[in-house]
Structure 1
Amino acid sequence: AAKSVNGIDSYIEPQQRVSAGQILGMIRIGSQVDLIVTAFEGMKIRVRPGDRVRAGETILIE
């Protein structure tokens, strides 16, 4: 993140399992977020590079 982004809050720990719909964190001043997930059989990615997403609304992966 840029130096100007100093309001990043992460609500999970590395390697922690998360549930569908769980809030992962927040960037208080708009910025880019890189999401890294482990692939699993049957996983369907619902977004493409460049898509705009909204917290709590956009389904990223099923």
Structure 2
Amino acid sequence: MPIFKEMSIAELKQYLSAHRDDDEAFSEALGELITRNRGAVRYPANLSLEDVGRIVREKLK
């Protein structure tokens, strides 16, 4: 398995695209990609469409 810590973000995304059917490899690569941006705001998956729209409008200001 490749050394994900040495891959660029673009390389990780390419790897994810190429290995989407390999659950173990995909999970490890995605985990590395997620840890690269610890300061990112994470929103719950069950947001209403109104809340998503509000958040997007605020980000566009």
- By percentage of residues, which structure has more helix? 2
Q: TM-score, normalised by structure 2?
A: 0.25
- By percentage of residues, which structure has more strand? 1
Q: Which protein has the larger Cα radius of gyration, Structure 1 or Structure 2?
A: 2
Structure showing greater relative contact order (alpha-carbon pairs closer than 8 Å, 6 or more residues apart) = 1
